Amino acid sequence: MTTIDKAPTVQSQRAGTGTRGTRILGTLTIVSMVWLIAFGLGFSPADRDQQEAVRIMYVHVPTIWIAYLAFVVTAVASGFYLFKKSLGWDRLAGASAEVGTVFVALTLIVGALWGRLTWGVFWQWDARLTTTALLFVTYVGYLAVRRLGGTHEQRARRSAVIGLLAVLLIPLVHWSVRLWRSLHQEATVLDPDGDIDMDGLMLFSLFVGVIAFTLFYVWLMLHRTRVMAMEDMMEDRGLDEALASRRREAAMPDSEEN
């Protein structure tokens, strides 16, 4: 019976972090993105007050939804890491925070473009805008802490604590429009009164945006957590090789010193 070499096959090298599942998910994501562009820029009507600027909402609202989702996932995964001590949870937390931070940045930039059209200014030190900027800076800090030196376990433990604390900003951001006098409008869909005062086609376009970005988030998370697992393996391999090299040096006869 012959043995098979365990070296990476050409097929797996080409696939990278992809599987049949991620390819199906990726296709669904692209289809839903096309729908979002068609409804967001084409089929949905102009708003009575915001006019055409409402079309920015179909990307602006889903971006902050994904950021909230990503940071909640980071907090939950951080909690699981502290409980289970499995690095898989830490990688999930880190990957989700990366995606969430990019989405908050997009929320701020796209929101500024919408603000210029609707309010006449790109930025105001308004409660919602300021707390969202604070959320962004906090998670940039979280990602910086993840890059500090130490073992995987040290990285995981300190970032898990920050991940659990940072998520407390989300209720502050969400409720800031009610806690303080704010220029930013209150929630339309997640209105606590349960009354959604929105045109059906507009609501559908927003819904398509949320679905499209959620699919994208799941797809990207699958790939990113796999990349992070390989990065950790490569780091461990490099450390093992460095240790072996040091041991060889230490085991060498003293002749070289003389």
Partner 1 sequence: MEDAGFIIGSYVLTFATLALMSWRVLRSGRRLADQIPDEDKYWL
For partner 1, the binding residues (CB under 8 A) are 6-9, 12-19, 33, 37, 40-41, 51-53, 55-56, 59-60, 63, 99, 102, 106, 109-110, 113-114, 116-117, 216, 220, 222-224, 226-227, 229-231, 233-234
Contacts of 73 (CB under 8 A, 6+ apart): 92, 93, 96, 221
Q: Which is nearer to partner 1, 142 or 217 (CB)?
A: 217
Cβ(159)–Cβ(145) below 8 Å: yes
> What amino acid is encoded at 80 in this protein?
F
Q: Which is nearer to partner 1, 135 or 212 (CB)?
A: 212
Whole-angstrom distance, CA of residue 219 vs CA of residue 95: 12
Give the rounded distance of the alpha carbon of 170 from its chain centre: 14
Q: Which is nearer to partner 1, 37 or 170 (CB)?
A: 37
Give the rounded distance of the alpha carbon of 107 from its chain centre: 12
Q: Which is nearer to partner 1, 21 or 171 (CB)?
A: 21
Find the shortest distance in angstroms from Cβ 121 to partner 1.
13
Find the shortest distance in angstroms from Cβ 81 to partner 1.
17
Question: In the 8-state DSSP scheme, what is residue 47?
Answer: B
Find the shortest distance in angstroms from Cβ 79 to partner 1.
22
Question: In the 8-state DSSP scheme, what is residue 140?
Answer: H
Find the shortest distance in angstroms from Cβ 199 to partner 1.
18
Whole-angstrom distance, CA of residue 87 vs CA of residue 71: 18
Helix, strand, or coil (residue 51): strand
Query: How many of the other CB atoms lie within 10 Å of CB of 12?
Result: 10
Q: Which is nearer to partner 1, 15 or 148 (CB)?
A: 15
Q: Which is nearer to partner 1, 40 or 163 (CB)?
A: 40
Contacts of 204 (CB under 8 A, 6+ apart): 39, 44
Find the shortest distance in angstroms from Cβ 241 to partner 1.
13
Whole-angstrom distance, CA of residue 205 vs CA of residue 191: 18
Find the shortest distance in angstroms from Cβ 106 to partner 1.
6
